[in-house]
Structure 1
Amino acid sequence: MNIDSSSTDQYPTRGQLERKLSQSIQAFYRKNLGYQPGHTICHLFEKKLAIIIENSVTPTEQFLTEEGQGPLAKQVRDSLDNLTRSRLQQLIEDILGVEVKDLLSDVTLETGRMGIIAVLEGCPKVRNPESIQKKNPN
């Protein structure tokens, strides 16, 4: 009996991709900004990736905020986002194997949470494509 193994078995599961992204994003911040953000959650939707990073604020931004320098902390965050955007986009593209059309991000300095949405060119290839939420056809 011949079993066709050329199906989606060669691809990672959606969960494996999401975990790899989470770990890689944490490593990215540790390597490039010198700090380890907290819990990182990644979730794939049809052609979108949502990322939530806890404790994403650097010690410098925290210090500035605590010292009443919120506008300067925001300026530092904006500069960091601008400097890291293309590298983060490339990291996502390398892991998912899909081009990122747009990358949107924002952080709340008071809570330390960061949200990132990546709009993808297509849906990444996974072993269990039915697990990626699709838009409601209605």
Structure 2
Amino acid sequence: MPLDEFDRKILAALQEDARMPVAQVAEHAALSATPVSRRIRKLEEDGVIRGYQPVLDPRKLGLELNAYVLINLDAHSDVNIERFESAIQDNAYVIACHAVTGDMDYLVHVIARDVEHLSQITLKSLLRIPGVRDVKSIIVLETIKPPLKLPLG
């Protein structure tokens, strides 16, 4: 679906604050509230806006450590892939997982309380998934730009 300038302004405003009242979004888009409301509904119906959720502060929830875990499977059979992906879906500390190109099969974003907790997640959970051959972890020292907003240009 092609987005026009008004749609982009609406989306930019909602990315700033999804709870922003329609009247305030309308100000950002330089439109009145009624067409903005219709456009938001259309963006939702078209799946451009997939939902609304709060952005939680992991540190306030006791989750101080971010890590990326690179995982290789021992074989790329359908059974291994399905088993791995199912186990990843069930792990609350895995907040994202991507199949990737290159030397590794998956890039898994893990959040943990501390290094010891990451070790438990890695050794007692991820490495024990049948079909996982090896795991490499990268600990995030500092987040320079959090992945919250999509480019709209």
What is the TM-score when the length of structure 2 is the normalising length? 0.31
Structure 1 or 2, whichever has the larger Rg, is: 2
Larger relative CO (CA 8 A, sep 6+): 1 or 2? 1
TM-score by length of structure 1 reads 0.33
